[in-house]
Amino acid sequence: MTVQPRKSRQVHLARHPRGTPQAQDFSIVEATLPPAAPNEALVRNRWFRISPSVRLMASADAQHIKGIPFPPLMPGDTLADAAVGEVIEAPADGSLRRGDLVLHRYGWRDYALVPADSYLRLDDTPLDPAAWLGHGWTAYAALTRGLQIHAGDTVLVTSGAGAIGSMAGQIARRLGAGRVIGSTGSHDKAAWMQAELGYDAVLIRGSTPIAEQLAAAAPDGIDVCVDMVGGEQLQAAVAAAREGARFVLLGALTAELAAERATMIAPVELDSFRLIVKGVSLRGYSADSDPGAFAEWLQRLTEWSRDGGMVLPRSTFVGLDSAPQALHEACAGRLKGVVLVELP
């Protein structure tokens, strides 16, 4: 019989970060596990996701934000994010059994007590954690609910190597886009995006002005923009918008990952006259508004993966101790795809 664990290591916020989160902003604490309630499953986490949004929610003036699935963090709080784990002790209602894999929201710890309304049992097919913990479904929802792709569209995806962007470019192509352009922060990432993800062109932040690079990459303008960045990149995209262009705004990394501190304020100057005369639409969007997109995405992913044409990029760290460093690297913009921590 399996011996039930009495302790669980957890990652706590030790202090509000100043600038990019550092390892010393967090502590790893061994906590006593209380007995599971009748409606709780005891789960041993096997993988959990690292989101750069932790930086924003760990700031001293953080507030609840729609679309970020965890609350503001205070020193002493346990961090949380999406996780996949193995059931060690199942609730008495019989819907789970020991050994089942579940998706839940209590990552950043070895073991979690997960209420029945907070987990999703995964099927018995071979598991790729990036399919469940990645943001492919966010990109899919944005490109099917937030706006519509038309055949032959020229699409710009900002932060195209990140968790959402690395999937959005591929999905846009599958939905009929004719030319897909991304942006990123380094030549190495740009080369990877073209070789592995199929981007036709990549704009590189910090070299020549983004507007000039975009004009060269899309001389006839763009039809769609999936924006995670804001700032100069959103401004350049609006300037390049064609008649009837559609924009879906999913994030504002210029604010979330600002050098001094994370903030919810992301000012940008846009040409409103161009928006009017070109009939451009801008929509802020959260995939949480369309939860049904998740199951649909998994079905489409299965279909699209049969020909080997879908890549699920990830950066993987091993062990709970590596989680603070993973967050630091993610916030510094050094990683590709979804960032995962694997717990052996």
CA angle 272, 278, 282 (to 5 degrees): 60
pTM: 0.94
Residues 105 and 231 in one domain: no
SS (H, E, C) 93-161: CCCCCCCCEEEECCCCECEEEEEHHHCEECCCCCCCHHHHHCCHHHHHHHHHHHCCCCCCCEEEECCCC
Given a cut of 90, whether residue 258 has pLDDT beyond it is: no
Domain that holds residue 214: 136-289
| Over residues 259-277, mean pLDDT | 91
Domain CATH for 124: 3.90.180.10
Shared domain check, 113 and 234: no
- Give the pLDDT confidence score for residue 1 in this predicted structure: 46
Tell me, yes or no, whether 282 and 223 share the same domain. Answer: yes
As for how many domains the chain has, the answer is: 2
Q: In this predicted model, what pLDDT tens digit does every residue of 13-59 receive, in sequence order?
A: 999 999 999 999 999 999 999 998 999 999 999 999 999 999 999 99
Q: What is the pLDDT of residue 70?
A: 79
Within a domain: 128: yes
Q: Are residues 318 and 285 in the same domain?
A: no
Which helix (H) or strand (E) segment holds residue 308: the answer is none
pLDDT band, very low/low/confident/very high, at 2 (cuts 50, 70, 90): low
Burial class (CB in 10 A: 0-12, 13-18, 19+), 296: middle
Helix axes 210-217, 231-239, angle to 10 degrees: 40
Cβ atoms 182, 193 nearer than 8 A: yes
Q: Are residues 12 and 67 in the same domain?
A: yes
- The rounded distance, in Å, linking the Cα atoms of 163 and 160 is 8
Residues 158 and 276 in one domain: yes
